[in-house]
Amino acid sequence: MRNASGHSRRRLLGMGAGMTPFVLTLASRPALGNECTNSALMSGNTSWGARRDPNTCFYNELAPITAAYNAEAQQIMTQLYAAWAAGDTDLATQLQTEYYALTDKYNADVAALRQKYAGYPGFYG
């Protein structure tokens, strides 16, 4: 029984030694892959694990905003074309108003996101 226990410990220690490069690699990366924190963006250190590109962070946040806008705008425009084809000017006017409101909201969201990153070094978005 003791030999089996000793063998298990040696095997476990051997696996741990083999994992050292992997663990050290993880330790040099940002926690949970979060590279868009204030400290990472403002760090003067330009090593891989420190300063991040604020443009990448900006575009990562912009992508879902743009995708949602495009999907909703496409839906409104499809309904608008159908309303025009049917001669329903009241519905067409309502849909145009919705489209303009959606576009205004999208532009405001993008402006707020740009403002969020404007103070970070290297941001040009």
On whether the pTM is more than 0.75, the answer is no
Q: What is the pLDDT of residues 20-78, one digit of tens each?
A: 555 555 445 544 455 677 666 666 555 544 457 899 999 999 999 999 999 999 999 99
Closest CA to 53 of 112, 120, 111, 2: 120
The three-state DSSP-derived secondary structure of 54-115 is: HHHHHHHHHHHHHHHHHHHHHHHHHHHHHHHHHCCHHHHHHHHHHHHHHHHHHHHHHHHHHH
